Structure 1
Amino acid sequence: MLQTLLTSIVKQTGRIALIIHLLSGAVIQQVNAETLRVAVAANFKTTLEVLVENFEANSEHRVILASGSTGKHYAQIRNGAPFDLFFAADARRPRLLEQQQRSVAGSRFTYAVGKLVLWSPKPGYVDDKGQVLASGTFRRLAMANPRLAPYGLAAKQVLQQRGLYEHLQSRLVRGENIAQTFQFVATGNAQLGFVALSQLQGSSMAQQGSLWTIPESLYDPIEQQAVLLNDTPAARAFIAYIKNEPAGRIIRRFGYATASQERE
């Protein structure tokens, strides 16, 4: 009888110890879990959402995205906005933050190289040489604000190369960012517009419409860089994931080039 009682106590003690061990592990994991706050350029938001989903599926960390124009994000970060990472649509703002010692030294890197296209949802409207820009057949041409959005600056450079920027001033409608610019064209508020190739990947509207993939010789490379603002294990883990080839394949699938691809 005594032996049976002792055996039962030992078994119960073992179960309790196992439960305590499991609970302790869960508590430790919960303590180590972090929530990342990431500022991301509007053009890269959809791509980053897919990357975040994959990252979260294999990590205890969580990621909150705030998308918008690179220029506005830069101003917010300078004014103390509590972001952990900044995925810009250019290299200039991350470089400025680095120079101003507002980012973690040595963390800046190129995560994607953007591509600019001239697009209309109307089939056959945009030709493969971009001659429609000089035709005068459109009432409104959409582009992102060159002061805030790198894709807008690239669009301005294309028009300047064609000698059309000043001539088309009265027809330009400027979006705060590339996402708003895309909406101007998609909703018919502009007949055509300069958008990111990534916005058209997999879009039924793009397949039904017409576009000109603009030669990269007509605008400065849209080198999109990220920078670490708050040095935490979760932020480091996320950067490591973005730099790996599985993430690179996703980025290229959405219409970007990557730094590794550019070196090939």
Structure 2
Amino acid sequence: MNIRFFSAALAVVATAIGATAHAGEVQVAVAANFTAPVKAIAAEFEKETGNKVVAAFGATGQFYAQIQNGAPFEVFLAADDSTPAKLESEKRIVPGSRFTYATGALALWSAKEGYVDDQGEVLKKNQFKHLSIANPKAAPYGLAAVQTLEKLGLAQAVKDKIVEGQNITQAQQFIATGNAELGFVALSQIYKDGKVTGGSAWVVPASMHEPIRQDAVILDKGGANPVAKAFADYLKGPKAAAIIKSYGYQL
């Protein structure tokens, strides 16, 4: 083999081995509404850094309980700001690591085209059999749904028609599979690049519920992991911001 070629090949192998040796991973708990955006963000982060994001998806309240019980998460992307603030007060996070990564929007959605009008009047007509929402005790989007119904004066009228998902993903699945004609979901679940991707929807005005500020924190288990900080920093950057906005979130 040509010595020059052999040396060059060896250098390439050494570089690849070095990159692998320095690559790490971070365990991230992610609120279910942010599933699609974080997958896209993680793919870009992994491409640029070689570090791996190992994500788990679920309800914010359930993650809080798991973190209290010693779950190995290093970064937490919540669907509210109160849960991360609570973890901060309990000294379970890296000091100064809490920040708002997105502000979410609520939508009333049906998998059927034309079923939900753009003013949400379908709720007042009350001719549906089932209305899907996420568990308001565990999922901030479920709480926002309850607040919206109360604001509209419809909470009592529809209470016997409500079906609850454990998290916002399950709430959407009830609608997508036809087990509920309509329901409240995160706008990000049905929205991409400026439009609703299927069915029909009413984007609930922000004045109908408390702001859905979604905060991220580096948990104490991630304090010694440089990849945890790197991923948190990446979330604040322009590439992540563009992805987050494309799913209907505000920054």
Change in Cα spacing, 1:17 to 1:173, as seen in structure 2 (3 Å) is same
What TM-score comes out, normalization by structure 1 length?
Answer: 0.86
* Contact 1:121 1:206 survives alignment (8 Å): no
Residue 255 of structure 1 aligns with an amino acid whose one-letter code is: G
Matched, 1:53 2:43: yes
Match in the other structure for 1:141: 131
Moved more, 232-241 or 45-54: 232-241
Tell me which amino acid in the other structure corresponds to 1:252: K
Question: In the TM superposition, what is the alpha-carbon distance from 1:22 to its structure 2 partner?
Answer: 6.7
3-state SS, counterpart of residue 166 of structure 1: helix
User: 1:100 is matched with which residue?
Assistant: 90
Q: What is residue 6 of structure 1 aligned with on the other side?
A: none
Q: Compute the displacement of 1:209 (Å).
A: 2.3
User: Matches of 1:125 and 1:19 in 2, distance apart?
Assistant: 61
- 1:225 is aligned to 215
| Offset, 1:122 | 2.0
Distance in 1 between residues matched to 2:37 and 2:130, nearest whole Å:
28
Asked if the contact 2:175/2:182 (under 8 Å) is kept, the reply is yes
Alpha-carbon distance change, 31 to 123 in structure 1, aligned in 2, over 3 angstroms: closer
Write the letter of the residue equivalent to 1:250.
I
Distance 1:81 1:196 in 2: 26
Label 1:17 to 1:131 Cα distance change in 2 as closer, same or farther (>3 A). Answer: closer
Determine the structure 2 residue equivalent to 1:170: 160
- Out of 231, 244, 251, the position equivalent to 1:251 is 244
The answer for the alignment partner of 2:184 in structure 1 is: 194
Question: In the alignment, which residue of structure 2 is the partner of 1:235?
Answer: 228
1:120 and 1:15 mapped to 2: Cα distance?
Answer: 61
Q: SS at the partner of 1:168? A: helix
Runs of 4+ that moved beyond 6 A: 14-24
Residue aligning to 2:65: 75
Contact 2:192/2:248 (<8 A) preserved:
no
Deviation digits for residues 53-85 of structure 1, max 9, x if unmatched? 001001121111100111111110111000110
| 1:211 positional shift | 1.3
Contact 2:192 2:246 in 1 (8 A): no
What's the RMSD between the two structures over aligned residues? 2.3
How many Å apart are 1:32 and its aligned residue? 2.6
1:160 pairs, out of 140, 150, 155, with 150
Deviation at 1:218, TM superposition (A): 0.5
Query: CA distance change for structure 1 residues 114 and 16 in 2, over 3 Å: closer, same or farther?
Result: same
**Superimposed CA distance per residue, residues 106-165 of structure 1 (whole angstroms, 9 cap, x where no aligned partner):** 000111110001111222221222121121210000001100000000000000111111
Q: Normalising to structure 2: TM-score of the pair?
A: 0.90
Is the contact made by 1:140 and 1:190 (CA closer than 8 Å) also made in structure 2?
Answer: yes
Count matched residues: 246
Q: Percent identity?
A: 46
Structure 2 equivalent of residue 8 of structure 1: none
Structure 2: how far apart are the matches of 1:61 and 1:125?
44
**For structure 1, which runs of at least 5 residues remain unmatched after alignment?**
1-10, 259-264
